[in-house]
Structure 1
Amino acid sequence: MTTMWRRLAAVAAGLVLGAASLVSPGLVLPAQAATTDAKAASIAGLDEFGACMAGAGRGSLVFLIDQSGSLRQSDPDKARVTAGHYLADRLASFAQSAKVTLDVRVAGFAADYAAAGEWTAISEASSGAIKQTITQVGEDIKNFDTDYWNALEGARADLVGHDSSGCRAIAWFSDGAFDLDVRTSDSAKDQFGTDKGYAPGADLSTQEGTAAAEQAGVSDLCRPTGVVDQTRAAGITILGIGLNDGSADFSLMRRITEAAGKDVDGLERCGDQTQPVGEFYPVSDIDSLLMAFDSIAAAGTTVDTRNISICQAKACTQGEVAFVLDGALDEAHILASSSVDGLDAYLYRPGQDEPLVLSSRQTQERQDEGVTSRWITPRTLEISADAAHTPAWDGVWRLAFVDNAAASQGEEIQINLKLSSPAQLVWEDLSSTELRAGETVKDVQLRLYDRPDGAPVDPQRITGTLNATVTLQDAQGQQVTLFETDDAADLAGGHDITVPADLAPGAATMTRTITLTTPDATGVDGARVPGTTLSPTVVTEQVTLVPPLNFPTVAAALTFPLLEKETAATGTVGVSGPGCVWLDPGAVTLTGAPAEAGEVTISSSHSSAESCLEVADGATADLEVSLSTKDHANGSVTGSLEVSISPLGHADQARSTTVAFNGEMRRPLNVTTTSAAFVAALVLGIAVPILLLYLVKYLMARVPAGGLVIGRTVVEVPSDGQPPNVDLSSRDLKQLAVRKGTRELSTDGYVLRAHPGLAPTSVPQVRLDQPQAPSVSGSLEGQRGGHAVLPLSVRGNWVVVLDQPDSPRTVTLLVFSPSLERSDIDRITQDAAKRLPSRVATLAASNRGMKNEAAGANQPGPAAAQATVLPPPSAGASGFSTPMPPAGSSAVSPVPVPGTAPMPAPMPVPGPSAPAPGAAAPGAPVPGSASSLYGRSVPSAASASSSYGHVPSGPTASSAPTAGPTPAPDSPAPAGPPPLSFPLPGSQGSDSAGGPASAPPPPGQS
């Protein structure tokens, strides 16, 4: 494992532990071992974030991950992903133990801010999905830009839009400086654009323009009221984790996180806002990143970070860290990391001489009587202890690390310790308590509670010592101590607490702190071990300081509506009487505003004592305040108003109260550009998938490779509808070898081709294209446009072709078998014999109808007026074809197929009662002709045979006179189409062979 792993582990540990101390106390080691890193022991930003969550019960954090291309070199092992998973697990554990709701969102950034997934309340149940999102974002590397402006502005807007608790933080991971790339190619210009909103006029297609944009971005981040000030003004704590491979410049990142409103450690300040102060964690490997994340995930805990010597070959006292636990704590967490592989950890529990040996060679998680341990990497160990499941809890615990090879002389290991106590100092009924400047609150009940939602703790259960304080800070920054005690007994009774009269009315922050120290204990050698002082448990809550009597009460905050289409908005400040309220024109402090917004103006029509808003006793009113900017922009306008208040008629007694304000700005969309982009995206979004679909269809339209046997024989179709006799001998079979997918099969003049189909959703099929005779298959669709269609596989199917025009009732049958096995061939021929008559009848009807139209079926004549016209057939659901009839049935009416010849006109037939005078009986053969399957007369032997497909000219049957003498038996046949060999749907009478008449169709069918 790399050194980066170890440092990432350290950061993770500190971040986790940092959150919990204000919600749950952390450890301060005994005085004799006090060499704690002062920086690690005091993390103001994390303290504030954790204390805020302890008071509000909820908070939000954006996990902001750099996705720039440089990570391929600086973090090739994706340590950011592994450490991110650890952070998610620790945050879930923290939220559960602290009884807070922590919403987490994962986002990436390169050229822009890109949130992934939705806001999720982190827990053991949801951490898996969050870790999956971390993996997706962490592995999605981009090729352009490391844009800090877009990253922080996007995270700020995301947090403000989601969280109303005010407890907000950004865990910001990056491996380098603010960096923009020159757009040299057309594709880069199209994808990433050639400008930045914060750098108007800078052309990113040139080196000079790109450098100017970078400078403008840095300037806008750190200018007074810039993006960083807007972020701090929203109460967002910025926690930076810099992945350092030795070449990165983190000066800007450190300025943003640490130099809040003042120069710090040689860093130029970034912005004017001093709170909340963030923290920067430089890491060079996964282990140090884990340690950093450990601090983040315990926001509010003062993480005790210790460096101790590694013992050589055996345990040693100089390499031990000792701490005392008692009933005031219910869990402990340890994260330790070194630069040495192959260590063993020796954990000594109270009263036990033999240690619990945790070897780095064991990579699986293990459970040992309430102690859970896991080597996250070969150099980073995590230990958790649970008081409820540990037999020996109270007393001295010791931890040492041993190098059995004795090859690490002088090396040290870094240890993060968090000891979690559930105790919190609670002001009972605070929400209903009126805090008025200059007055005393009687009988205040300050109690210790076992977690925020738990039961009160009897102070007599505290076996060690404690210190409890309550402080109050007004909106102008003045802080006073309202209560302090070192005696646990003081937390059993009531107290009278006076609010100083000089505090500014309005919004205020109350901070309650409890610091516990465990009792002294006796070590294994009999020596006294001092008790462990736990880091303070801190809870902050927002309260309102009420002004003196006869003064009006003003709301503590003002939120303006979103400025998007307009550059002006009006908000209201709630006022409760009695009294007078006004806003002086100069009583506005601006803490944040986008540079593009230009001049910002805030005003009210009630701008002086003479024009004040008067509110009677017991009444309420709204003080209207207007906000306007010169131009549209993206960002936030934040600041405070010093609103003047006075008793009615006593403007000379006026005093001020602070009202915080904020207003989000969003630049409106360019309608023309957006519409053009939408249309282009819509066209491409439809066209590209369809083109790809057609390409896939074309590539798929092949008869698959493999063996294929084609059989051909002539079949006589019985006139009575019975199955024909199909005799297919071995001489009629031809074996083909389809070596690869083919688009065409040919045998004895019969040509089958694969067709992808015109419709994008149609399935590719094989069609019999030659000969041009009508044909139908045994597949579901059967035929299309008079040509048999088959599935691409072909095998296992059959086709019947009406290509024997001079042999009435004779057809050609083609059989396609996967092999020469007789069982395969018989199965196909049996199916063909069973279903062939109905398929042939339907095909003959369709063919006859098309030829009638070609012959002029619509010629006028007397008979036409007296004929009964059949209704047209109903189209199937698709409108393309009608499903084939069941086997043995011919009651199917053909329907037109798109792209084929139009549907013939409805066929006139004699009425249902009897034939017209002088007409032949329905279905009777025409003298001098023979019945055929093709919808036309076949001349007698004495007549000349017409070629296939020829339709004799002359009037149709529908135009023949309905009265007149019946022709003599030997007289010439009248012109017109002969009756079909198979009954058409809806016809009556017998077929041409004298068979039984077909039944009339069911109602509603043609």
Structure 2
Amino acid sequence: MKNLIALRRPAARVVVAILLALTWIASTPTVADAQRDADLGPCAVGADLVSALFLVDESTSMSEVDPVYNRVSGIKAAIDQLAGLATETRTIAVSVAGFGHAYDSIVPFTDLTPETRADTVAAVEAIRTRAGSIDSDFALGLAGARADLAGRTGPGTCAILVVVTDSGIEIEARDDASAETFGTTKPYAPDANLTTASGAEQAATAAFEQVCRADGDLDQLRTDDVRIISAPMTATMSLDAQSFTQALANGGTCGEAAGKGSYIPAPSPAEWFNALAGFGTTVTGADVSTQTALVCQLIDCEQGRVGVEADGQIGRFSALASFQTPGIKVVITAPDGSQVELDAGATTTQVAGSVVTATWLSDTAVNVEVRPQTGSVAPGLWQLSAIDPTGTGLGNEPQVEFEISVFPPAQIEIVAVSTATPGEPFDLEVALVDGSGAPMPEDAFSSVALAAALIDDQTGDSVLVELSPTETGTYRSSGAAIPSAFSRTSELTVSAQTVTADGTSARTQLRRSLSADSAGVTPPTPTEPTDPNAESDEGFFSFLPSFSTPSWLPWAVIGLAGLILLGWAVRRWSSARSATFALEGVQAAEIGVVIRSNGQIDRAEPDGTTRQLYLRGTDFSPVGSAESDSFATDRARYSTVDRSTALAFGAG
């Protein structure tokens, strides 16, 4: 027997300990640490909505460096592992898109449920037909990803962008055939003629500027709090391309905003599967170990088994098995000796009180999840083995690798949380739940320690949130006020450490973004995605600076300018039919005016008296009082003609 994973949790009386240790808070990443650590597990566990978008390079070189599509199997593995995080209170949504000469939505955002899990994983196969593009256009790729992630960021969310590529920014010159297929211009470089080498180089420079300038595409994703995971295959990449793909995740040479990302390069095409599957296990927050065994020939065999020992209660576990030849089946043996055989194809079955879900990622890889129907996984030794029913490996048995993920016995679940408004009380209620989402029994632990803190997004300052047990088994804050000096956005961190009677301890943690305006999120209603490949707006408004917060600001400025021009035109047009009444010696900005529906104008004089004036032949709607030299109603427009001495009242 090889490398047994043991989790011993005998029942014991609960003694609740509320631990507010400063060392726990000191271990919480600061703003600077966030540039190096994506905190994917705590981010996902603490969110109501987890959105993961896989952005895959569709250039021709991708099929050349990875002809067996390890990247496809890796993405399928990651999605299948993400599906295990879905609960009644946490939505997991995934999307797959491509980028080459343009942005290409392959699998739109889909909520992962037991009903959609297998079909969504299978839909990733469409990547195999999309590896014939001419460019690696990160400008259009990142802009398209940000558009698809719109509405999926903010408090209560965890948004993740996984970039899969084998190059940096590449824009190729077109010949006649490719020009017709892929176009001759770019929306961010309308003057660059892509039928020439110089034009392609000009477009590539513009693409880099679009992505990496201050407040560019990458900075806007970071400002939206999107965690960027860069997963390049580096075997054929130049040093410049490797530096660029690393900067996507970690910053430094691309963009200025602080980012939360991870760089997981694959040194060879075969390692792409491990890198992407490893991302999936990182998000789930599991404890991971790798075990190898021989592939049994014809029948199950002792030397082909690996095991997970659960002497008590564990949340759930999964095993990602990969082997060298197709046709292998996986066998799970429960502690009571009952077995299930998992052949090729998605399979869901039950054994020893647990639901077993097998998702075949390719003909040489399968992900198996064991989740208790209620409570905990049955105690004892669980064993896994791989069998070649044809016996072709007799005498030269190949190996199978199992990557086993064991989940903590208890996870933190947010029951209720308020907004994080500076100077106002902060309310928080959390619970500890098992692998099935049910509350942990009172006799599960000998002690439980909880710590919570709010961290200011702007300064990194933190404040402790004291949690006390309730009669219902949850833990609730005292409602202490958030410091007035805090900014309006912050991050909530909650940590739990459990100890059993025999001294076995486990720790789990979650993080959640909060603001003074919102504590959670409602999953967005699907809408038609913005087309990042459209040229009309981008080219015309390319002279404008890029804005990120709020994104509507540049359009509001343009709209305001349009209204000003329209008002000027209306005033000029109406001046010929407007009655002008001179207000001698009075500055327009000093006038207090009430306009009544009968045309009466009450004007406050400098000496404190009120003078009544009438404008005959016009009909006005009441607008109340104003202290301005320009104001309007729905039926008339009033504005200054001479800013020092007069007002013009023109019928609208």
Q: TM-score, normalised by structure 2?
A: 0.61
Q: Report what 1:789 is aligned to.
A: none
Q: Report what 1:637 is aligned to.
A: 547
Structure 2 portions without partners, runs of 5+: 1-32, 519-529, 531-536, 556-652
1:232 aligns with 2:216: no
Q: In structure 1, give the amino acid aligned to 2:494.
A: R
| Cα displacement string for residues 558-578 of structure 1 (whole angstroms, at most 9, x for unaligned residues) | xxxxxx9xxxxxxxxxxxxxx
For 1:357 and 1:167, locate their aligned partners in 2 and report how far apart those are by CA, in whole Å.
36
Residue 500 of structure 1 deviates from its aligned partner by: 6.7
**SS of the counterpart of 1:229?**
helix
For 1:341 and 1:118, locate their aligned partners in 2 and report how far apart those are by CA, in whole Å.
30
Residue 160 of structure 1 deviates from its aligned partner by: 1.9
Q: Report what 1:272 is aligned to.
A: 256
Residue 149 of structure 1 deviates from its aligned partner by: 1.6
Q: Report what 1:383 is aligned to.
A: 368
Residue 77 of structure 1 deviates from its aligned partner by: 3.4
Residue 379 of structure 1 deviates from its aligned partner by: 4.7
Given candidates 451, 465, 469, the residue that maps to 2:451 is 469
Q: Report what 1:157 is aligned to.
A: 147
For 1:461 and 1:357, locate their aligned partners in 2 and report how far apart those are by CA, in whole Å.
32
1:304 aligns with 2:287: yes
Q: Report what 2:604 is aligned to.
A: none
For 2:476 and 2:111, locate their aligned partners in 1 and report how far apart those are by CA, in whole Å.
37
Q: In structure 2, give the amino acid aligned to 1:224.
A: A
Q: Report what 1:807 is aligned to.
A: none
Q: In structure 1, give the amino acid aligned to 2:256.
A: D
Q: In structure 1, give the amino acid aligned to 2:451.
A: T
CA 99–273 in structure 1, closer or farther in 2 if over 3 Å, else same: same
Residue 150 of structure 1 deviates from its aligned partner by: 1.1
| Cα displacement string for residues 254-295 of structure 1 (whole angstroms, at most 9, x for unaligned residues) | 3244322x4xxxxxx332222322343427456x54544444
CA 391–501 in structure 1, closer or farther in 2 if over 3 Å, else same: closer
CA 471–69 in structure 1, closer or farther in 2 if over 3 Å, else same: same
For 1:633 and 1:124, locate their aligned partners in 2 and report how far apart those are by CA, in whole Å.
48
Q: Report what 1:560 is aligned to.
A: none
- CA contact 1:222–1:256 (8 Å) conserved in 2: no
Residue 192 of structure 1 deviates from its aligned partner by: 3.1
For 1:453 and 1:72, locate their aligned partners in 2 and report how far apart those are by CA, in whole Å.
41
| Cα displacement string for residues 671-730 of structure 1 (whole angstroms, at most 9, x for unaligned residues) | xxxxxxxxxxxxxxxxxxxxxxxxxxxxxxxxxxxxxxxxxxxxxxxxxxxxxxxxxxxx
Q: In structure 1, give the amino acid aligned to 2:548.
A: T
| Matches for 1:108-127 after TM superposition, within 5 Å | 108-116=98-106, 118-127=108-117
Q: In structure 1, give the amino acid aligned to 2:159.
A: R
For 2:289 and 2:81, locate their aligned partners in 1 and report how far apart those are by CA, in whole Å.
20
1:193 aligns with 2:162: no
**SS of the counterpart of 1:208?**
helix
CA 435–516 in structure 1, closer or farther in 2 if over 3 Å, else same: farther
1:57 aligns with 2:48: yes
**Count of aligned pairs between the two proteins:** 494
Residue 251 of structure 1 deviates from its aligned partner by: 0.4
For 1:635 and 1:128, locate their aligned partners in 2 and report how far apart those are by CA, in whole Å.
44
For 1:489 and 1:62, locate their aligned partners in 2 and report how far apart those are by CA, in whole Å.
41
For 2:376 and 2:255, locate their aligned partners in 1 and report how far apart those are by CA, in whole Å.
53
Q: Report what 1:393 is aligned to.
A: 378
Q: Report what 1:424 is aligned to.
A: 412
- CA contact 1:636–1:664 (8 Å) conserved in 2: no
For 2:435 and 2:547, locate their aligned partners in 1 and report how far apart those are by CA, in whole Å.
35
1:168 aligns with 2:159: yes
Q: Report what 1:247 is aligned to.
A: 236
Given candidates 258, 261, 272, the residue that maps to 2:249 is 258
**SS of the counterpart of 2:208?**
helix
**SS of the counterpart of 2:142?**
helix
For 1:391 and 1:501, locate their aligned partners in 2 and report how far apart those are by CA, in whole Å.
41
For 1:59 and 1:90, locate their aligned partners in 2 and report how far apart those are by CA, in whole Å.
13
Residue 540 of structure 1 deviates from its aligned partner by: 1.1
For 1:201 and 1:493, locate their aligned partners in 2 and report how far apart those are by CA, in whole Å.
61
1:213 aligns with 2:203: yes
Residue 334 of structure 1 deviates from its aligned partner by: 1.8
Residue 253 of structure 1 deviates from its aligned partner by: 5.3
Q: What is the aligned-residue RMSD (CA, Å)?
A: 5.0
| Cα displacement string for residues 944-972 of structure 1 (whole angstroms, at most 9, x for unaligned residues) | xxxxxxxxxxxxxxxxxxxxxxxxxxxxx
Given candidates 132, 141, 145, the residue that maps to 1:142 is 132
- CA contact 2:371–2:377 (8 Å) conserved in 1: no
Q: Report what 1:510 is aligned to.
A: 492
| Cα displacement string for residues 276-326 of structure 1 (whole angstroms, at most 9, x for unaligned residues) | 22343427456x545444444466433434344546987569x95645364
**SS of the counterpart of 2:512?**
strand
Task: Find the structure with the greater CA-based Rg.
Answer: 1
| Cα displacement string for residues 447-485 of structure 1 (whole angstroms, at most 9, x for unaligned residues) | 425489977555x23236544221111232323251478
For 1:115 and 1:363, locate their aligned partners in 2 and report how far apart those are by CA, in whole Å.
26
**SS of the counterpart of 1:179?**
coil
CA 379–452 in structure 1, closer or farther in 2 if over 3 Å, else same: closer
Given candidates 332, 343, 349, the residue that maps to 2:317 is 332
| Cα displacement string for residues 51-106 of structure 1 (whole angstroms, at most 9, x for unaligned residues) | 455445124332323222223322333444444444444444432x3642234333
- CA contact 1:514–1:538 (8 Å) conserved in 2: no
**SS of the counterpart of 1:274?**
coil
**SS of the counterpart of 1:239?**
strand
Q: TM-score, normalised by structure 1?
A: 0.42
- CA contact 2:375–2:435 (8 Å) conserved in 1: no
For 1:540 and 1:126, locate their aligned partners in 2 and report how far apart those are by CA, in whole Å.
26
CA 500–490 in structure 1, closer or farther in 2 if over 3 Å, else same: farther
| Cα displacement string for residues 603-639 of structure 1 (whole angstroms, at most 9, x for unaligned residues) | xxxxxxxxxxxxxxxxxxxxxxxxxxx9546895135
For 2:538 and 2:267, locate their aligned partners in 1 and report how far apart those are by CA, in whole Å.
38
- CA contact 1:194–1:204 (8 Å) conserved in 2: yes
CA 178–518 in structure 1, closer or farther in 2 if over 3 Å, else same: farther
For 2:382 and 2:545, locate their aligned partners in 1 and report how far apart those are by CA, in whole Å.
52
Identity of aligned residues (%): 19
**SS of the counterpart of 2:229?**
strand
**SS of the counterpart of 2:516?**
strand
Q: In structure 2, give the amino acid aligned to 1:533.
A: A
- CA contact 2:286–2:405 (8 Å) conserved in 1: yes
Given candidates 68, 74, 77, the residue that maps to 1:77 is 68
- CA contact 2:153–2:226 (8 Å) conserved in 1: no
Q: Report what 2:581 is aligned to.
A: none
For 1:471 and 1:88, locate their aligned partners in 2 and report how far apart those are by CA, in whole Å.
31
CA 519–373 in structure 1, closer or farther in 2 if over 3 Å, else same: farther
Structure 1 portions without partners, runs of 5+: 1-41, 263-268, 521-529, 547-563, 565-595, 599-629, 640-660, 667-1006
| Matches for 1:410-489 after TM superposition, within 5 Å | 413=401, 415-419=403-407, 423-426=411-414, 428=416, 430-431=417-418, 436=423, 446-450=429-433, 457=440, 460-463=442-445, 465-483=447-465
For 2:256 and 2:56, locate their aligned partners in 1 and report how far apart those are by CA, in whole Å.
26
Q: In structure 1, give the amino acid aligned to 2:514.
A: Q
Point out which structure has higher relative CO (alpha carbons under 8 A, 6+ apart).
2
Q: In structure 2, give the amino acid aligned to 1:388.
A: Q
CA 290–188 in structure 1, closer or farther in 2 if over 3 Å, else same: closer
| Matches for 1:651-662 after TM superposition, within 5 Å | 661-662=550-551
For 1:141 and 1:512, locate their aligned partners in 2 and report how far apart those are by CA, in whole Å.
43
1:533 aligns with 2:529: no
Q: In structure 1, give the amino acid aligned to 2:236.
A: S
**SS of the counterpart of 1:637?**
coil
Residue 417 of structure 1 deviates from its aligned partner by: 0.7
Q: In structure 1, give the amino acid aligned to 2:54.
A: F
**SS of the counterpart of 1:203?**
coil
Q: In structure 1, give the amino acid aligned to 2:61.
A: S
CA 148–133 in structure 1, closer or farther in 2 if over 3 Å, else same: same
**SS of the counterpart of 1:436?**
coil
**SS of the counterpart of 2:150?**
helix
